[in-house]
Amino acid sequence: MELDTLPDRFHGGQKHMRHRWLAIGALGTFTLLSATAHATIRLGHRTIFGHRNMQRGVARKKTPLSKHPLVALTFDDLPAAGGLTPGDNRVRIARQITQELRARHIRGVYGFVNAVSLPGDKDAQQALRIWLHAGMNIGNHTWSHPALDDVSAEDYEREIALDEPLLAAYAGRRDWHWFRYPYLEEGDTLQKHEAVRGWLQAHRYRIAEPTLNFNDDDWQDPYARCVVKNDAAAIDWLKQSYIQNAAEYLRVGREEEQTAFGREVPNVLLLHETAFTTLMLPELLQVMHQQGFKIAKLSRVERDKIYARDPAAGVKGGGTLPNMYLDSRHLPYPNSTPEPEDKLNSLCQ
C-alpha cells in the first residue's frame, strides 16, 4: 500500500468542496490516512455549505416548522467510517452505537456498506455482524465509494453490483435493496443521472436520499488528532460545535424542504458510523427529541410520495434531496451559520 492524499476538489468556484479522501486506483486499492496514528480508510462526504453560504440573505417568507417531524436515522460508510485512534477498533464503535440505539428502542436502522473494507479485516467483519445482530439493516453504498461525477454510469453500476454478494451474504433474509449514493452525487448530467437511476430501478433498489445532513463526519478527523494529542479543551470544543452545527442544519434542512417541496416531508438523516459518533449520539438524540423529532423506519418515511419522485436533473456535486431541487430549480437557500470548517481543519494539527 502506498500513501497519498488527493487535494480538496472544488466545483464551480467554491460551490461544493469534497473532502480529502484517500481511496485511489482500481477496486480495492487504498491509500492510508497519514495524519492520524492509526491509518485507516477515510470515506467522507463533500461539504455543501459553501453553496448555501453563497445564497445567504435571500428574502423568503418564514413558515413555522412542524412540531413533530418524522425522521429515519441512517449511517454511512459501514463498516469502517473514518480513522481510528490508537487502541480503538470497529467492534467497539459498532457495539456502542447499536447499544445506544437499542436503549432508545430504535431498530431497523439502515447502515450503508462499502464491502471493500470487509475482506481480510476480522474487526470490520465482526463490527458488521454486531450491527446486524442488534436488529439493524444494511444497504448498498457501492463497493469502494466512487464519486459519480468522476466515473461513467457503467463503471458506477459495476461498483454497485460488486457490493452485492457480500451484502447478500451478511444480510441473509433482510431487505438490502436500498441504495445511498456516495458523496450524495446522483449524476452531474441528466443522462448519467437517469442511466444510474434506471439501473437501480431495474435491479429493484429503492434510493435512500437524505433530506437532513450536517456533515457529521467532518468532526471525526480532528477528534482523532485531538485524542492523540490528549487535548481535552479541543475535544470539548468539538463536542460543543458538533451539537451547535447539528441543531442548525436540522433546522436548515427542514426550511429547505419548505422551499423545495412547499412543505416539510418525513426526513432521512445522514450520519456516519465513526468513533466521534459514539461519543455524540446520546446528546444528538436528546437534541432531536427536544426539537420534537419522532424516529421512524426508513420504509415508513419513504412512503411519502416525494421519495418516488425523480429530481430529473444533473446536479454537479450532488446534495440532499431538497438540495437537488433547490439547485436544479434555482431556488433560494435559507440563511445559515456556516460550519466551522477552517477550525476543524486546523485543530490539533
Distance CA 284, CA 28 (A): 33
Q: Which residue type sits at 116?
A: V
Residue in the shown chain whose Cβ atom is closest to Zn ion: 76
The bridge status of strand 267-272 relative to strand 70-78 is parallel
Q: Which of 83, 182, 318, 340: binder of Zn ion (CB under 5 A)? A: 182
The residues in 209-268 that bind Zn ion, with binding defined as CB under 5 A, are none
Q: Which of 77, 159, 209, 302: binder of Zn ion (CB under 5 A)? A: 77
The residues in 3-62 that bind Zn ion, with binding defined as CB under 5 A, are 43
Backbone angles phi, psi at 34, to 5 degrees: -90, -15
Distance CA 104, CA 135 (A): 13
Q: Where are the alpha helices (DSSP H) in the chain?
A: 49-54, 90-103, 122-133, 153-171, 190-202, 220-228, 232-261, 275-290, 298-301, 321-328, 341-346
Write down the least CB distance from residue 234 to Zn ion, Å.
26
Q: Which is nearer to Zn ion, 235 or 246 (CB)?
A: 246
125, 114, 128: which is closest to 23 by C-alpha? 114
Assess 111 for contact with Zn ion (CB under 5 A): no
Q: Which is nearer to Zn ion, 184 or 224 (CB)?
A: 184
Write down the least CB distance from residue 45 to Zn ion, Å.
6
Q: Name the one range near Zn ion by CB under 5 A: 103-111, 156-164, 181-189, 304-312.
A: 181-189
In contact, 107 and 55? CB cutoff 8 Å:
no
* DSSP per residue, 74-93: EEEEET--S-B-TT--HHHH
Assess 76 for contact with Zn ion (CB under 5 A): yes
Q: Name the one range near Zn ion by CB under 5 A: 69-77, 85-93, 321-329, 336-344.
A: 69-77
Q: Which is nearer to Zn ion, 77 or 188 (CB)?
A: 77
Write down the least CB distance from residue 230 to Zn ion, Å.
29
Assess 159 for contact with Zn ion (CB under 5 A): no
| Interface residue list for Zn ion (CB under 5 A) | 43, 76-77, 182
